[in-house]
Amino acid sequence: MITEQEFTNFYNSYASKVHRLCLGYASGNIELANEWLQETFIKVWTHRNSFKGKSSIDTWIYRIAVNICLGDLRKSRKSITINEDLVSNSDNDENKHDDEKNIKKIYHCIDQLNAQNRALILLELENIPQATIADTVGLAHGTLRTRLSRIRKSLLKCIKNGK
């Protein structure tokens, strides 16, 4: 059983990573990412007694977050658009303009991935250990490494070609 103090510690430890994961699914839509973050930790709290410790707590929390994001996207068939405010800045600095274009391109390319590959790359971008990612999505570690390599290649190709 997870105590209130443990829950608070988990929230403090994982909320920012879960938020960035949700932000990736929401293609930069901060309001939607906040909603999914809140939903994730509500579910963690309400199902705290069902956590059996068969996986690490972070794997369990990430799996809940991925399920909420994917479930909501499937349920409503939401068309997520890139949050322009997130990637734009009023400075006319050339480097910032290039950065904005690259961020938009990256989000666009990640959005082209299927749901599982998107989950994998977003978890990887959070620097979550591959063993944890493998446990979260139920893949063998070797299979995960191969798939991440293919995803990176396809993202690179997409970013270079703009498709």
How many CB atoms are located within 10 Å of the residue 16 CB?
12
How many CB atoms are located within 10 Å of the residue 20 CB?
14
What's the confidence (pLDDT) of residue 118?
A: 87
Residue 107 half-sphere exposure, CB side, CA atoms within 13 Å? 23
What's the confidence (pLDDT) of residue 163?
A: 57
What's the confidence (pLDDT) of residue 18?
A: 93
Radius of gyration of the chain (CA): 17
Question: If the chain, 163 residues long, is cut into consecutive pieces of 10 residues, what is the mean pLDDT of each piece?
Answer: 89 93 83 93 92 86 90 68 48 58 78 85 85 86 92 88 69
Residues sharing a CB contact under 8 Å with residue 73, sequence separation 6 or more, in sequence order: 25, 80, 115
Tell me the residue range of the domain where 17 lies: 4-161
Count of structural domains, the chain:
1
What's the confidence (pLDDT) of residue 93?
A: 52
